[in-house]
Amino acid sequence: MINRSLAIAIKARLNVPRAKRALAMARAWIGDISPPEVLTYTELETAQRFISGHAIFMRHWMEYWKDIEAEDSAVRGRVGLLPLG
């Protein structure tokens, strides 16, 4: 659970026009380039979609690296990593 002061800080950072536009753009992807059920995917469901070549991003990729590089993976040898920040 997120603590109250962190929640307030996040809300303040998102309450600017640039952040609002970015969130609106991401929201528009749901049902367009992302299936509606993306909002309720578990980590395992996300990994399955990614490894089958039906997702472009995935959190916790390190936990699934063995599966990503497996011989039957649709994305084997095609996954790149970038630092955040």
Q: Residue 60's closest CA among 50, 70, 72?
A: 50
Angstrom distance (rounded) from CA 58 to CA 51: 9
Residues 6+ apart with CB under 8 A from 44: none
* pTM, entire model: 0.66
pLDDT of residue 80: 86
Query: Could you list the pLDDT tens digit for every one of the 85 residues in the chain?
Result: 567 777 777 777 778 898 889 889 989 999 888 888 988 999 999 999 999 999 888 888 889 999 999 999 999 999 988 777 6
Residues 6+ apart with CB under 8 A from 57: 50
Is the CB of residue 47 less than 8 Å from the CB of residue 59? Answer: no
DSSP secondary structure letter of residue 17: H
